[in-house]
Structures are given as structure tokens and as C-alpha cells.
Structure 1
């Protein structure tokens, strides 16, 4: 399920904070993609994609974070996924939720709603 937070930062400032916090959350975390766009009207979007190796599940989890202020205050929309064992089962022992929690930890001080 997608998680959403409304925050008091610009998307670009929030992206810097998330990037620093998530990458500091473990040695096996890597930002595998990022994209940012700004309009002349002052709207911004930032997309961050992370991967993290979890030894307890012997697999990688991904984290996708979108930060945008296109229709009002800045929103962070994010989702952890992957991290499951085997090809048939999606049970991940909490790896994806743990990964997504790092975004909440980074942005909680700036939450407005």
C-alpha cells in the first residue's frame, strides 16, 4: 500500500533529506535512480528509487519515493516492495515495511497533517 505524508519542505529539500537519511540507514543501501523537475511556476517533483540488501531474507527490497507540490502543499508518496523469499511467495518478513519506515523517520519532523 502507498503511504502518503504532507510536509512543510519543498520537494527538492525533502529529497535531499530523504536521500541522506535512507543512504545512512545501512551499508547495503543504494540509490539506483533519481529524477527531478521544476516548472517556472515554482512546482517541483523529485523521484528517488533505492535498493537495499536484507541478509535476513537473502534478497533485495526496493523503495520508491515521489515528492511533489503540483496541487498544493508538498506531498511525499512512497512504497517499499520486494524483499520476499522465493519465486512463489511474497512474504518478506517486514523488509519492505522496514525500508519504507526510513522515509517516515526522515520526514516526520516536517509533517504537517
Structure 2
């Protein structure tokens, strides 16, 4: 599953809020890497990859978050992966929960 939303916040500030939510709001959340592309006229794209342990999934999940305003409005796209065990990779909702923390952190900026 993936999450897409539009917000009324600059990508740099949105990335800061997401970072604070995942790392500051969790014992096991960590930023693996972040990549920033600077464009003309204050345009920016921030790609961040997070990692977090979910006990209910029995392992670590990753979350890739892309925030950009390259087309004027700031868009947020995130997708999680790596959850669950075995052939079917059933993760007890942990992947959706990881994505939801981004939506919750940015909910008051949603348009």
C-alpha cells in the first residue's frame, strides 16, 4: 500500500516534521538516508528512507518518503516495505501504520 497527499507546506519543513515524528516519536525509528534535489525558484525534492522495528510484524520495515514541490504544490508520497514473515509476508498492519504516521504528522497541512 502507498500514501499520496498534497499539503500547503514547503518540502524542507514537511521533511523536518516527518523526521521528528518517525525518529522523535519512536524508540526504534531511524533515518537511513536522505537525498535532496534543489531546483530553480525554491523548488525542491526530498527523498528519505526510514527504518523501524515493529514487534507485531516480527521484523524491521522501511519507509520511503518523497516530498516535492516541483510542479508548484507540495506532494507527499510514501510507501513501506519489508514487513511480515514467510511466503505471504503478512505484517499485521504494520506497513500501513508506518505510512499512517506520515499522514498524521502532516494532517493539519493537508489540502
TM-score w.r.t. length of structure 2: 0.93
The unaligned stretches of length 5 or more in structure 1 are none
Counterpart residue number, 1:52: 52
- Give the distance between the partners of 2:88 and 2:103, measured in 1 at CA: 27
Q: Work out whether residues 3 and 78 of structure 1, in 8 Å CA contact, stay in contact via their aligned partners in 2.
A: yes
Q: Which runs of structure 2 are paired with 1:60-99 in the superposition (5 Å)? A: 60-86=60-86, 88-99=87-98
The Cα shift of 1:82 comes to 1.7
Runs of 4 or more, structure 1, over 3 Å off, are: none
RMSD (Å) for aligned C-alpha atoms: 1.1
Query: Does the CA-based 8 Å contact 2:37-2:46 persist in structure 1?
Result: yes
Query: How far off is 1:89 after superposition?
Result: 1.8
What is the aligned length? 111
Deviates more, 1:23-32 or 1:65-74: 23-32
Structure 2 unmatched runs, 5+: none
